[in-house]
Amino acid sequence: MSDALIVGAGPAGLMAAGELAAAGHSVTIAEAMPSPARKFLMAGKSGLNLTKNEPLEQFLSAYDGRAEVLRPILAGFGPPEVMNWAEALGQPLFTGTTGRVFPKAMKASPLLRAWLGQLEAQGVTLRRRWRWTGWDPSGAPQFETPDGPVALHPRAIVLACGGASWARLGSDGAWADWLSEVAPFAPSNAALAVDWTDHMAPHLGAPLKAVEWRAGDLASRGEAVISVRGLEGGGVYGLTPALRAGLPLTVDLVPDLDAAALTARLPAKARLAHWLKNTLKLPPAKAAFFFEMTGGAGLPRSEWTRTVKALPVRHAGLRPMDEAISTAGGVRFDALTPELMLRDWAGVFAAGEMLDWEAPTGGYLLTACMATGRWAGRAAAKHLAQTA
């Protein structure tokens, strides 16, 4: 039997496995799916945003209430370290104009192949279709496997089971039934449900660009796409914490013009549609969205400027959690030691999205998953050395 067991072959689990193997320990990874890192591969279809190249303090601000607990972890493996790690695996990178960092290949599969090859060379064993089903009476983790039920007795365990979204890719949150001190799951980086009228049919798939979304104290200049089911994209994803709390959503359709400048552009007798199209030069999708949210062209002239600057967005709430990019909730940090070991389970560590933190898209999610995996793997290696 291996010294260490990793449950989950996503970025956090693979990172933990590499650290344990580098410390000289035998490592087995148990993965429920037929292939590893499926959510990682899915993320790579849109370019694989590995991290964001910005100073640590600015980077940490994306984690809001979890910034301090994550500080030492991200200080050890933040944007510069992620970039060096990927390049060491033979994956050249580039940094976009917003600071987001991508592989030049613009997909995840070459990086994953190199990563898995490195782990195989280190002697790490990957068991596919091994689904964790809880603990046996002795406290050993149990698995359903192609060869029947198996219980393992490693000396250290790193749980890297993912969150509770995208169950089809392996992150179903079922593990929460077997651990205590788990904060309830909630969608994060989620799309909004909107019941469009037929008026919006020609604009489905169109992006709303050069806007500023606001909900509570949160604001975002990102774009969102008018999809069949609602609004999707970074512009609304980052506002999920405020939207979960039921705070209203507004959008500024012309954030680079203040109210005074807009008022100065009001012609004496122009119709609203003419003002939006010919004076403000709103693209067709943006103008259509304005009328969809206001209910038509009957808006009083005195409300035009205010509404363009703070258009109330009518929606039916967040899309279901399983459609969200990530989840909030999970293993609470007060149930963990600073080394990410479960206080009630000596030698059992947790890492990745199954921890109770959330962050916006843009490289923050993936970096923290890898960083916590690395941290837990190193802590598990130290535990093995101390208990040998």
Count of beta carbons in the 10 Å neighbourhood of residue 90? 12
166: in domain: yes
318: in domain: no
- d(CA 188, CA 368) in angstroms, rounded, equals 15
Let me know whether 177 and 203 are in one domain: no
CB 304 within 8 A of CB 266: yes
Which residue carries 């940094």 as its tokens?
Answer: 95
319: in domain: no
| CA end-to-end span of the chain | 15
Provide the residue type at 269 as one letter: K
Place 266 in a pLDDT band, splitting at 50, 70 and 90.
Answer: confident
350: in domain: yes
Structural domain of residue 203, as residue ranges? 192-312
Q: What are all long-range contacts of 75-84, with beta carbons under 8 Å and residues at least 24 apart?
A: 76/371, 76/374, 76/375, 77/367, 77/370, 77/371, 77/374, 77/375, 78/51, 78/367, 78/371, 79/51, 79/52, 79/53, 79/54, 79/363, 79/367, 82/50, 82/51, 82/367, 82/370, 83/50, 83/51, 83/53
Name which residue leads in pLDDT, 43 or 131. 131
Helix (H) or strand (E) holding 274: helix 272-274
Let me know whether 150 and 51 are in one domain: yes
- d(CA 214, CA 238) in angstroms, rounded, equals 10
* Mean pLDDT across the chain: 96
**Is residue 2 predicted with pLDDT exceeding 90?**
no
352: in domain: yes
Let me know whether 180 and 328 are in one domain: yes
The mean pLDDT of 257-273, rounded to a whole number, is 87
DSSP β-bridge partners for residue 136: none
- d(CA 135, CA 133) in angstroms, rounded, equals 7
Residues ≥6 apart with Cβ < 8 Å to 23: 378, 381, 384, 385
Let me know whether 178 and 201 are in one domain: no
Q: Radius of gyration over alpha carbons of the chain, in Å? A: 24
**Is residue 215 predicted with pLDDT exceeding 90?**
yes
pLDDT of residue 263: 86
Let me know whether 74 and 90 are in one domain: yes
Dihedrals phi, psi of 104, to nearest 5 degrees: -60, -25
Smallest CA-to-CA distance from 169 within 16, 47, 35, 285 is with: 35
272: in domain: yes
Let me know whether 180 and 201 are in one domain: no
Which among 292, 312, 332 is the end of a domain?
312
**Is residue 305 predicted with pLDDT exceeding 80?**
yes
Q: What is the pLDDT of residues 55-72, one digit of tens each?
A: 999 999 999 899 999 999
Count of beta carbons in the 10 Å neighbourhood of residue 354? 30
Which among 312, 340, 375 is the end of a domain?
312
DSSP β-bridge partners for residue 361: none
Domain count, the chain: 2
Smallest CA-to-CA distance from 253 within 328, 306, 176 is with: 306
Angle CA(294)–CA(300)–CA(304) in degrees, nearest 5? 70
Let me know whether 174 and 257 are in one domain: no
pLDDT of residue 45: 80
Let me know whether 230 and 139 are in one domain: no
Let me know whether 11 and 52 are in one domain: yes
Let me know whether 363 and 242 are in one domain: no
Which among 253, 284, 312 is the end of a domain?
312
List the CATH number of the domain containing 111: 3.50.50.60
Let me know whether 300 and 344 are in one domain: no
The mean pLDDT of 362-378, rounded to a whole number, is 97
pLDDT of residue 267: 79
Let me know whether 205 and 181 are in one domain: no
CA 274 to chain centre: 40
Smallest CA-to-CA distance from 170 within 76, 64, 309, 31 is with: 31
317: in domain: no
Give the torsion sign (CA, 179, 182, 184, 185): negative
Angle CA(109)–CA(120)–CA(159) in degrees, nearest 5? 80
Place 79 in a pLDDT band, splitting at 50, 70 and 90.
Answer: very high
Q: What is the pLDDT of residues 267-277, one digit of tens each?
A: 777 789 999 99
73: in domain: yes
Place 264 in a pLDDT band, splitting at 50, 70 and 90.
Answer: confident
Dihedrals phi, psi of 255, to nearest 5 degrees: -65, -15
